[in-house]
Structure 1
Amino acid sequence: MTGLIPWQQRLSNGTEDIQDEVIRWYQQTRHGKAYVPNMIWGTLQTEAYASVILRRVVDFLGVPDDVAAGVAKRMERQQVLYDGEHHYDVILGEQALYTNVGGPEVMRGQMERLLRDIELPSLTLGILPTAAEVSVVPMPGFNVYDGGRAHYELVSSGVDITDPDELALHEKAFNAVSRATSYGDAASRLISKALTFWNRG
């Protein structure tokens, strides 16, 4: 089964309510997975980075402006990284380290955050190198949650997938990307390279 709800409907009261919903998803997920090719995974975003992202969402969709409240909720959701009860396997595309969100100062802070949090026991963070060969066709990012659900964020809608056969394909796709991904010191070197780039900016 696939569920699709337009963002303007889901965000009709602003960004705070949906952040509450996402907090519940993460609290209920003991072992989650995320593939995010072009931006930083929301649960690792700095406050400054998240503020830029949610400001762009509000301005683009024309929904009520409660950016500060939405950012506060996004920061609250990050507690799952520190409570000792959850684990997340996260793959960022190397492009995510260079997609300009808020300019060099914001990006420097974000790279420093990644370098710090890559050591968290609750997190397996990998970077998919730009030129890595992956044994699956290019695809948009997605999250996989406990309880049998994958989630996509598209331009106009959020999409939830619950069909077991489709979920199995998402697991297969994540594993294919993972085999081409750099972890540990190799991932840290890619993040450090991006930090150097933004320091020059």
Structure 2
Amino acid sequence: MTSSVPWKQRLSAGTEAVQDDVIRWYQDTREGKAYVPTMVWGTLQTEAYATVILRQVVDFLGVPDDVPAGVAKRMRRQEVLYDGEHHYDVILGEQALYTNVGGPEVMQAQIDRLLRDIDLPSLTLRILPTAAPVDMFPVHAFNIYGHSDRAHVELVSSAVDITEQSELDLYCAAFDLLRRGAVYGDPAKELLRKARSFWACAPLGTGS
């Protein structure tokens, strides 16, 4: 089954309530996968980075402005990385390290966070290089929860949850192909350091 809920409906009470839902999903999911090609995965975002993202969401959709509360809950969601009971396999597109969210200072701190957490036992963080050969056509970001129990996709206008097994199988197959093209460990750290150097040299006036 596939269900779709418009963002304006889902965020009608603001961003905090949605973050509560996401916290429950992550707490209930011992194993998860995520592919995020153009931005940093929410559970690894710094407070400053998350503030920019949620502010953009509120301004774009015209939903109630509770950004500080939503950000606080997004930070709480990250507790699953440190409780020793969860594991997440995450692929970031190299572009995610260069998409300008908040300007050079925010981006440098965000990449420092990724470098700090990349060796967490709860996390397998891979970077898909921009020019990597991948046997998969370009696809949107998605999350897979549990043992392929549900896939979650966020579109411009709505959030989509997929539970139909034949569709879930396709998402799992896509993730496996993307993972084959991605790098982890020292090569991933090198891409992170390269991106950090880029932002360290970027003019401070290039904020969003």
- Normalised by the length of structure 2, the TM-score is 0.96
Query: Deviations along 1:95-145, whole A, 9 cap, x unmatched?
Result: 000000000000000000000000100000000000011111110010000
Is the partner of 2:152 in helix, strand or coil?
A: strand
Amino acid at match of 1:123: L
**1:180 Cα shift?**
0.4
Mind listing any 5+ residue stretches in structure 2 that lack a counterpart?
A: 203-208
CA distance in 2, matches of 1:89, 1:149: 15
Is the partner of 2:169 in helix, strand or coil?
A: helix
CA distance in 2, matches of 1:94, 1:172: 21
1:137 is matched with 137
CA distance in 1, matches of 2:152, 2:137: 18
1:72 is matched with 72
Query: Deviations along 1:27-86, whole A, 9 cap, x unmatched?
Result: 010000000000000000000000000000000000000000000000000000000000
Q: Percent identity between the aligned chains?
A: 70
What is the aligned residue count? 201
1:176 is matched with 177
- Normalised by the length of structure 1, the TM-score is 0.99
Is the partner of 2:5 in helix, strand or coil?
A: strand
Is the partner of 1:134 in helix, strand or coil?
A: coil
Amino acid at match of 2:100: N
2:59 is matched with 59
Cα RMSD between the aligned structures?
0.6
Deviation above 4 Å: which 4+ runs of structure 1? none
CA distance in 1, matches of 2:137, 2:73: 34
CA distance in 2, matches of 1:71, 1:47: 7
CA distance in 1, matches of 2:136, 2:193: 27
Mind listing any 5+ residue stretches in structure 1 that lack a counterpart?
A: none
